[in-house]
Structure 1
Amino acid sequence: MASGYPGRDLRGSFGFTTTAGSSVYASYQPLTGGGGGGVLKRSVSELEREQQTLLFRSVKKRTDASLSSSSGFNFRNPCPAVAPPVSLVVESDKKSSVLNHQLQELERQLLLDDDDDDAVSATGSAVTTSEWSEAIDQLLSPPPPAPTLTIHNALSPSPSPSTSTSSSTSSTASCSPNHSTSRQLLLETAAAIADGNFETASSNLASLKRAANIRGDPDQRLTAMMLSALVARATGSAAAAHPFAELCSLEHQTATQMMYDISPCFKLGLMAANLAILDATRESPSIHVVDFDIGQGGQYAALIHAVAERSRQIPSLPPPSLKITAVSDPTLSFTSLSLATTNNLNLIADKIAKLSDRLGLDVRFNIVNRRTSELDATVLGCEQGEALAVNFSFALSKIADESVSPANPRDELLRRVRSLGPKVVTVVEQEVNFNTAPFPARFADACAYYGSLLDSLDAMSGRDSADRARVEACLGRKVANAVAKEGSDRLERPEVFGKWRARMGMAGLKPVAFGPAVVEPVKSRFATLRSVPGFTFKEEAGRLGFGWMGRVLTVASAWR
C-alpha cells in the first residue's frame, strides 16, 4: 500500500534521523566473598576462567528462563539482560557517563532564556543540535553484539530455524505497543520532553517507532505523524530551515486543497460559507468578496458555480456581477508575493476567467498587495452599490495575535474589516486550540484532533491512494509546526469557537444565524454521507459544526 507520506520510511518523509532498535540494559554485580584479598592472590588466567564460568552460567540461566517464561521481556527492557565482562562494563559506563552529560547539557540549554545564549556559547558547554541528534541515535540504535553472544553460540546448541522465528515473533509482539498504549505513550513522551527528561523520552521514542507505520491503519499513521513531531520538538532538527518554507510551498497548498475536497468536514464548512455569502447578498446586482488566504481558489470555483445555479433557478433576475479580491500581505509568509505565490495567483485568475466565460458570468479577479494595516475601502477597490462580503476560511488562524505580537494583528484586522461595513463576514476554522495552550496540552489536543481526522480520511479514501498520501504529508507538516514550534515560528494558531466568538465581539461584529437557504442545502449534502457512518453535523447557536464520531473538526459561522 502507498504510504501516507512521501518516501518509504519515517526518515525519508519526516527528517527522522534516528535509527530503529532497542537498547540493551546490561547489569553487573561485583564479586563478593571468598575471603579478604583472595582475589589479588589468584593469577590472571584463573580470573579469566572464573569470569567465563560466571558468564556462561548467566547466559544459560537467561536462556532457560526465556524458554519457560516471557517475563524476560518488558517495555523498558525489550531484550534479555546479559552480564558482560568487566572490560565491557567499564566501557559501557564511560559511554553512559558521556551520554548522560550530553543529556544534562541539552536540558540546561533548552531551559536557558534567549538572553543567555551568548554566555552559553562563550563557555562552549552547550551541546549543539547535531550532538543531541547523535545522542538520540545512540539511544535508539541497537548496540553492537556483545562477546557473550559468541560464547552462547559456541557453548550452547544452535537454535533451530523454527525456534528462531518463534522467538523473533514473540519479541516483536512484546516490544510493539498496541494502539491504546501508543496514544498513552505519545502523551507520556511529550510530558517527558516538556520536563527535560530526555532519557525517558528517548526510550519511549524507540518504542513508538516500532509501533509507527505510515502505510498502516489510522492509529499507526497517527503514531508516525506525532512521533516525527516529537523528534522535531526534542532535537530542533527543523530549526535550521525557514520555519514557513514547507507550509507556504505550492505543494502544501495543493495538498491542502485536496484535503478540502476529500474531507466532508472541510468541504461542508466551505460550502456553508459560500451559501452564507450568497444569502447575504441575494438582492444585490454586484457582489464583492474579499479573501485573505485564497489558497488554490477551489472555494471560488464552487461559489461561481453556485451563482450560476441560482441564476438558472431564478431566470427573471439577471445574474449578478462578481468581484473577488485576494489580499496578499507582504509581511505574512503565507500570502507574500513570492514568485511561486505570484504564479499561483495568476493561475487561479486564469482558471476563474475560463470558468466564468463558460458559465456566462461577469467575474473579475483582483490582487491587492498591501499590509493589513493599510487596508481600507479605497485600497480594496470597494465600489458604491456593491454588496461586500469578507471571507476568512482557515485564514484568521494564520495571523498572529497578542501572544505573538503586542500589535495584535489578528484583532486589528477584525476591527478594520468591521469598519468596511460588510454584509457578512464568514469564518471557517478548525475546532482545536493550537494558539496559547502550553506544549503538553497542545500535543494532547493534536493527538485527539488528528486522530479523529485520520479516522475520517480512512473512511473516505483508500489507504493506497496517492492523493491521500499527499494530504497526510500535508497534515504531518501542520502538526509538526503546531507541536515543535513556539512564538512567531508557529504559523497556524487555530482556536476553539468560544475564543473566536469573544474576538469577533470585541471587534464589534455580531453573530448572524444561518438561515434555511444555508442550512437546508448543507443538510442535503450531508445526507449523502449516510453510507459512511461516523460523520456528524451539528447546528448550535447559529454555527454549524462538522466532525467525526462526536469530535467536532471544523466550525462555520457568519458575522456582521
Structure 2
Amino acid sequence: MASGFSGGYSDFSISGSMNTRSVNDPRRPYMSNLAGMDSDVSSQMFNRRPEPTGKRSLSEFQQHFQQQQQLALYLRNVKQRASYQQNASPISPLSPPVDFYGHSQSPDISSLSSNSAYRIPIFQQLRQHQQQQQQRQQHQHVNNMILSAKPEAPAEKNMMHRLQELEKALLDDDEDQNDVVAATSVVTNSEWSDTIQRLIGTDHTTVSPSPASSSSSCSSPSIICAKQSLTEAATAISEGKLDIANEILTRVSKVSNKQGTAEERLMAYMCSALKTRLNQTENPQDLYGKDHMASIQMLYEVSPCFKLGFMAANLAILEALPDDENNVNLHVIDFDIGQAGQYIHLLHALAAKRTANRVIALKITTFLDYATDLKAVGDGLKVLASKVGVNLSFRVMNLNINDLNIGSFGLEVGEILAVNFAFRLYKLPDESVSTENLRDELLRRVKNLSPKVVTLVEQEMNANTASFVARVNETCGYYGALFESLDATVPRNKPERVKIEEGLSRKMSNSVACEGRDRVERCEVLGKWRARMRMAGFEEKRLSQKLGESLRVKLNSGTRVNPGFTIKEEAGGISFGWMGRTLTVASAWR
C-alpha cells in the first residue's frame, strides 16, 4: 500500500535504542574467555601427555571435556567464514582424528585440510612432527576414554548422548537463508559445569527434538531450537504428518511470548500461523479489513525502512522534472494510494521547487479502495496543497486492469507522467497462480502509457514461488529482522506497537498458511522484479548519488540515531535494512 507517514517534509526522525541482543548482527564477534587464548595455550593442550585410559570421575571427565571443547571453539574461531561454508562440520573432540599437515583419517575432512584458507598461524605452529604425533595421541586418548564407558549402563550411555547433543548445540551455526550471519554460543567455565549438571540430571525442561527428524537436538528451550523446530514442523506439514507437526508446535508455543523479546514474539506469531495452516482457518479477507489497513499505515509511519522507501520514490519522481521550464505539470498515477502519506512529502518537495516565475501543478490519479475513504484523503491533500502553493487535482477511478489505456486516463499534452508502484505489485497474482498473470499484464499496460518514470518499492522477500518449507524459513528471517527493528523505534508498551505487530502477524499467516489465489502475500526480491520489468519493456533508471545522500541525511536527522538501520545502493536500486538484512528496496524505471 503506497502510503507512508503523517507530518511535513522535515518531520522525519528516528528514535529508540539499538537492540544489541540480535543474533543476526554480522559484526558480533566470538566473545568469551576464549578471546584471550593464544598459541601457548593451544600448545599446552596438545602437549599434554595422555593419561592411562580407564574409568574416571565425573569431575575429571568434565574438566577434560571442557578443555577439548575450548580448543575446538578456538580453532573454529580463527577459521575463515567462506572456507567453513564449503567444507565439513566444525572440529570436535568427538569427531574422527585429524592432523593439520594436510592428512586426514576421515574422507569427510580430506578436502578441508587441503584448502589454503586454513593455513593460518596456529596451523603453522603445529607443523612440527612431534606435535603431530602428540595430537593424534590426544585424539586417540579421547576415543579410548569414550570406548571405555560401559555400553550396558543406560545412565552412562544417556549421559554421553546428551554430551553429544550439547556439543552439537554449541558448535553448529545458525544461519539464515541469505547466509549473511553466523552466531555461535560460547560458555564460561561455570556455565559449562552448570549445563553438564543439568544434562546429567533427570528433571529438566527442553524443547524436545522433532519425532520427524533424529538429527535435531536441543539442550534448552532456546530460540535457536524453536526456530529449528518451526522448520521441522513445516517439513512435517509438507509430508502430511499433521500429528507430529501439531506436537512440535505445542512445544514451541511454550517458549514463545507475544509480549516478550523480538525473538519470542516472532515465535508466537509464526507458531500461530502454522497452526492456522494445520486447522485451515485462514481468511484472506483479513488483509483487506479496515483494522489491517490501519495497522499497516502505522508501520509505514514508524518504520524507517518503509518510510525511506516512499521518500526514495518521491525523489526519483522529482529527478524526472525539468529544471528549465516555468510551468511544470506533473501527473502521478498511483494504483494503491492508501492514506496518501507519501504525497504529503511530495507536496512539500514540489513547493520547495516553486519560484515567483514558476508554477507547479500536481495531478494524482488513484483507484477505488473500499477500505479507505479516498474522498477524505483527497480533501486533506487539497488543503495542504493550497497552503504550500501547489495546484492539486485529485481523481479516483474504478477500472479493470484490462481496460487501462492512454485514453482512459485523459493524459494532456505537456504532462510529465509518473507511475508509482509502492507495495502494490506483490499483491497481484502472477503466472504461478493464473494464466491471466495480472502482475505482468499491468506492467505491460503501464509501459504502453510511455511514462517518464516508474517507481517500484517492494519488500525484499523471496516468498512467491518458493516451496512451503523455504517460505516458512524466509518469513521467519524477514519478520524476525523487522520485529527487532521495531524494538529500536517504538516502545514496547505503546498500543500502536501491538496493532502494528498484529497486522504483521496477518501478513505472516497469509504467507505461510495459504496457497493459490488465497495467498495474497507474494513478495519477490529485486532480481525477480528486475526480470519482470525488463520483460515488460522497461529500462533501469539509475538513481543519482545525490538521492542516496539525501536519504542518509534523513535517516540520521533524528536526535537519537540508531546505527542498526542501513542504506545501501546496489544494482540500480537503493535498499533499506536492519543489521545487514535488507527489508525494502526502491528502484526507478523508464
Range of TM-score over shorter length: 0.5 to 0.7
Superposed, which structure 2 residues align to 1:208-223 within 5 Å? 208-223=252-267
Specify whether residues 193 and 468 from structure 1 end up closer, same or farther in structure 2 by C-alpha distance, changes over 3 A only. Answer: same
Correspondences of 1:73-88 after superposition (within 5 Å): 73=204, 75=206
The answer to whether the 8 Å contact 1:275/1:517 transfers is no
Between 1:293-302 and 1:502-511, the stretch displaced more is: 293-302
Output the CA distance in 2 between the equivalents of 1:468 and 1:489: 27
**Residue of structure 1 in register with 2:103 after alignment:** none
* Contact persistence 2:207–2:226 (CA under 8 A): no
Q: Does residue 1:255 correspond to 2:295, yes or no?
A: yes
- The 1-side partners of 2:551 and 2:352 are apart by 16
Correspondence 1:432 to 2:440: no
1:154 corresponds in structure 2 to none
Alignment partner of 1:357 is 2:386: yes
Tell me if 1:271 matches 2:331. no
- Map Cα deviations across residues 28-52 of structure 1 (whole Å, 9 max, x no partner): xxxxxxxxxxxxxxxxxxxxxxxxx
Given the alignment, which residue of 516, 522, 538 partners 2:568? 538
User: Are 1:280 and 2:320 counterparts?
Assistant: yes
Distance change in 2, residues 1:414/1:76 (3 Å)? closer
The one-character-per-residue Cα deviations of 1:405-446 (angstroms, maximum 9, x if unpaired) are 101111111111111110100000000012111111111000
SS in 2 for 1:247: helix
Equivalence for 2:129: none
The separation in 2 between residues aligned to 1:254 and 1:306, in whole angstroms, is 26
Residues 427 and 67 (structure 1 numbering): CA distance in 2 closer, same or farther, change over 3 Å? closer
Distance (whole Å) between structure 2 residues aligned to residue 281 and residue 518 of structure 1: 14
Structure 1 length as normaliser, TM-score?
0.65
Deviations along 1:525-560, one digit per CA (max 9) or x if unpaired, are: 123367312111110122101101111110000000
Does 1:201 pair with 2:231? no
| Equivalent residues, number | 382
Separation (CA, whole Å) in 2 of partners of 1:268 and 1:317: 31
1:309 — aligned with what?
A: 352
One-letter code aligned to 1:414: L
Structure 2 length as normaliser, TM-score? 0.62
Secondary structure of 1:320's aligned partner: strand
Give 1:73 deviation, angstroms: 4.2
The code of the aligned residue for 1:542 comes to G
Is the 1:308–1:319 contact (alpha carbons within 8 Å) kept by the matching residues of 2? no
Paired letter, 1:259 = L
The equivalent position to 2:487 in structure 1, one of 454, 458, 462, is 458
Match of 2:435 among 406, 413, 428: 406
Distance of 2:450 and 2:435 partners within structure 1 = 26
Q: SS in structure 1 opposite 2:407?
A: coil
In the aligned structure 1, how far is the partner of 2:198 from the partner of 2:492? Answer: 39
Aligned counterpart, 1:188: 232
Q: What is the aligned counterpart of 1:227 among 268, 271, 276? A: 271
Residue 198 of structure 1 and its aligned partner are, at CA, apart by: 1.8
261-270 or 352-361, larger mean C-alpha shift: 352-361
**Contact 1:226–1:479 (8 Å) recurs in 2:** yes
Match of 2:583 in 1: 553
Match of 1:479 among 494, 508, 530: 508
SS in structure 2 of the partner of residue 191 of structure 1:
helix
Paired with 1:352 and 1:279, the residues of 2 have a C-alpha distance of: 22
For 1:297, the aligned partner's letter is A
* Within-5 A mapping of 1:65-76: 70-73=201-204, 75=206
> What SS class does the counterpart of residue 460 from structure 1 fall into?
coil
Aligned to 2:260, the other structure's residue is in SS state coil
Following superposition, the deviation at residue 286 of structure 1 comes to 0.1
Cα pair 1:307 1:319 within 8 Å, conserved: no
Measured after TM superposition, the shift of residue 364 of structure 1 is 0.9
**Structure 1 or 2: more helix by fraction:** 1
Change (3 A) 1:542 1:409: same
TM-superposed CA distance for 1:494, in Å, is: 1.2
Structure having greater relative contact order (Cα 8 Å, sep ≥ 6) = 2
Equivalent residues of 1:272, 1:556 under 8 A apart = yes
The amino acid that maps onto 1:256 is I
Partner SS for 2:288: coil
Q: Could you say if the C-alpha distance between residues 307 and 201 of structure 1 is closer, same or farther in structure 2, counting changes exceeding 3 Å?
A: same
Cα contact 1:176–1:210 (8 A) shared by 2: no
Give 5+ residue unaligned stretches, structure 1.
Answer: 1-65, 79-173, 329-334
* 390-399 vs 200-209, greater mean Cα deviation: 200-209
- Measured in 1, the distance between the counterparts of 2:199 and 2:417 equals 77
The alpha-carbon deviation at position 468 of structure 1 amounts to 1.2
Give distance in 1, aligned partners of 2:357 and 2:277. Answer: 57
Q: Which letter does structure 2 place at the counterpart of 1:303?
A: L
2:545 and 2:208 map into 1 onto residues whose CA distance is 61
Tell me the alpha carbon deviations over residues 287-317 of structure 1, each in whole angstroms, 9 at most, x when there is no partner: 0000111111111111112111232xxx254
- Structure 1 Cα separation of the partners of residues 483 and 198 of structure 2: 40
CA distance in 2, matches of 1:532, 1:452: 15
Could you say what secondary structure the match of 2:236 adopts?
helix
Superposed counterparts of 1:322-337, under 5 Å = 322-328=362-368, 335=369
Aligned residues of 1:176 and 1:207 also touching (Cα < 8 A): no
The equivalent residue for 1:389 is 418
Evaluate the alpha carbon distance shift between residue 506 and residue 204 of structure 1 in structure 2; reply closer, same or farther with a 3 A threshold.
same
Kindly provide the amino acid, as one letter, of the partner of residue 290 in structure 2: L
Q: Distance in 2 between matches of 1:438 and 1:69?
A: 40
Which amino acid is the alignment partner of residue 365 of structure 2? T
Which of 543, 549, 565 pairs up with 1:520? 549
User: Any stretches of 5+ residues in structure 2 without a counterpart?
Assistant: 1-196, 210-217
Counterpart contact for 2:205–2:221, Cα < 8 Å:
no
In structure 2, the residue matched to 1:293 is: 336
CA RMSD of aligned residues (A): 2.2
The whole-number CA distance in structure 1 between the counterparts of 2:374 and 2:533 is 29
1:74 CA displacement = 5.7
CA distance in 2, matches of 1:200, 1:423: 55
- CA deviation map 1:169-226 (0-9, x unaligned): xxxxx99721211111111111111111222212211111111111111001101110
Aligned pair in 2 of structure 1 residues 69, 522: CA closer, same or farther (>3 Å)?
closer
CA distance in 1, matches of 2:315, 2:207: 55
**Equivalent pair of 2:246/2:275 in contact (CA under 8 Å):** no
State the AA in 1 paired with 2:458.
E
Once the two structures are overlaid, the 10-residue window that deviates more, 315-324 or 463-472, is: 315-324
What is the match of residue 469 of structure 1? 498
Q: Contact conserved, 2:238 with 2:469, CA < 8 A, in 1? A: yes
Q: Superposition pairs for residues 4-19 of structure 1, below 5 Å?
A: none
Change (3 A) 1:308 1:517: farther
